[in-house]
Amino acid sequence: MTEATRGRTTAQHHNGSTPGAARPTIIDVAHLAGVSTSTVSHVVNGTKPVSEPIRSRVLGAIEATGYTQHAAARSLRRDRTESIGLVISDSGQPAFADMVRGVEQAASEAGLVMLLVNSSEDPQKELRAIEALQSRRVDGLILARAARSTAAAIDWPKAQGVPLVLLDRLADLPLDQVGVESESAVRTLVRHLLELGHRRIAITAGNLDVPTLRERYSGYERAHADAGLAVDPSLVLTGVGDEDETQVLVRELLQRPDRPTAIVGASSPMTVGTLRAAAQLGVSIPDDLAFVSFDSLPTPDLLRCPPTSAEQPARDAGREAMRLLLRRLAEPKAAPTTVRLAARLSHRESCGCGHPERPLV
């Protein structure tokens, strides 16, 4: 029997074609590939560079044998579970859903499993989620903080020595963080409305305890200050910021005799609430009311009047957060990094300027 024949026989036996066959081992892979078991280990674990021809032979042998390394045994040897935890405030929101996809894609490419928990904007639920993920010995955490997140959400992982990356909702702390340039984007949108002659510009600001919403409101304020105008507090709609509450507040606002001539939506749920309120009252956008938003809806092309918007690269933010976590795992003593991604400004019909090709700068 030749060496190749013996290898194929071993592969067929351990691949489960025979009832009761044993699980294929690293020895089987090494035998079939014609290398040492340590070389197989280096290919699987990425612990040492291996030449491409040998790596290809090992990967081919892994596929032929059906070999999969036992995760628990590997985690004990390397003190890793090959899993990461992601705690997010609401994965049902389009932007957060894209962030989740970005994290999951990057984790999968790195051979890691992502465990996802929603905090539902509840600080106590957020803490329980972090503790539960740590009890499962995840290798690291990515956290999009709840609106009133406590210091414990950051202190607890730090005390346990678990690498942590903040996503979307950043803090003035020496941590790895990834966010989007929210303030400058909203400032540009409001400045555009001011240039069109609007002076009564409302904003559905939402919950200003949320760092990203606070940044967007700051952009609204700064655009007014740039133009030498004071903000009218009666045009600032705050609250929980969901679709239903926004719809009620905007309905009331649009029925006032001094109603605004333009509205800025600070998030996609608030955009939906605003558009519903306008439709219920027969207020036409942009003929009766100009509208711009931070975050576009998932399918703006299906709307009669797609909103001019600042669209955040949410999936890229998720991937970048995973990249920072992988770097932290590889280099525990590296200096903390904060990454800010630029929002993309999409000029559409809802601002009512009549020149949809005109760029927003």
Q: For residue 49, what pLDDT is reported?
A: 80
The total domain count for the chain is 3
pTM here is 0.72
Whether 240 and 266 map to the same domain: the answer is yes
Amino acid at 264: V
What's the angle, vertex CA 317, arms to CA 315 and CA 318, rounded to 5? 65
Instruction: Kindly state whether residues 207 and 97 are assigned to the same domain.
Output: no
Residue where a domain terminates, one of 274, 291, 312: 312
Residues 6+ apart with CB under 8 A from 11: 24, 28, 32, 61, 64, 65, 66
* Domain membership flag for residue 228: yes
* pLDDT for position 147: 83
Tell me: do 187 and 306 sit in the same domain: yes
Residue 169 located in a structural domain: yes
* Structural domain includes residue 354: no
- Residue in this structure with the two tokens 């995840």, named with its chain if needed: 138
Q: Quick one: pLDDT at residue 75? A: 44
In the prediction, which pLDDT does 216 show? 96
Residue 288 shares a structural domain with residue 243: yes
- 35 in a structural domain: yes
Instruction: Answer yes or no: are the C-beta atoms of 168 and 209 closer than 8 Å.
Output: no
**Residue 24, domain member (yes or no):** yes
89 and 122 belong to one structural domain? yes
Looking at the structure, tell me whether residues 194 and 295 fall in a common domain. Answer: yes
Beta bridge partners of 177: 166, 338
In a domain, 351, yes or no: no
Domain match, 337 and 215 both: no
Q: Which two tokens stand for residue 300?
A: 């703006």
Q: Dihedral (C-alpha) 266, 270, 271, 273: value to the nearest 10 degrees?
A: -160
Tell me: the pLDDT tens digits for 202-260? 999 999 988 899 999 999 999 999 999 999 999 999 998 889 999 999 999 999 999 99
Q: Do 307 and 191 lie in a common domain?
A: yes
In this predicted structure, what is the pLDDT of residue 77? 43
User: Quick one: what percent of the chain has pLDDT higher than 70?
Assistant: 86
CATH number for the domain that contains residue 169: 3.40.50.2300
Q: Both 172 and 318 in a single domain?
A: yes
96 neighbors 89 (Cβ within 8 angstroms): yes
Exposed/middle/buried for residue 4 (C-beta within 10 Å: 0-12, 13-18, 19+) = exposed
Are residue 174 and residue 187 in the same domain, yes or no?
no
Number of H helices, E strands in the chain: 13, 12
| DSSP of 159-179 | HHT--EEEESS--SSSSEEEE
pLDDT for the residue numbered 86? 96
Neighbours of 152 (CB within 10 A): 15
Rounded Cα distance between 266 and 268, Å, is 7
Domain limits for position 115: 79-179+314-341
Which one of 48, 69, 90 terminates a domain?
69
Sequence-distant (6+) residues with CB within 8 A of 173 are: 154, 166
Which letter does DSSP use for residue 13 in this model?
I
Same domain, 206 and 305: yes
Residues of the chain whose pLDDT is less than 50? 1-20, 70-77
CA angle 187, 192, 195 (to 5 degrees): 125
Question: Is residue 298 domain-shared with residue 227, that is, in the same domain?
Answer: yes
Work out the end-to-end distance of the chain between its first and last CA atoms, rounded to an integer number of angstroms. Answer: 73
Does residue 360 fall inside a structural domain? no
Residue 268 forms part of a structural domain: yes
Q: Residue 64 has what pLDDT?
A: 87
What tokens appear for 170 in the block? 């950043």
Residue 147 to residue 119: CA distance in whole angstroms? 10
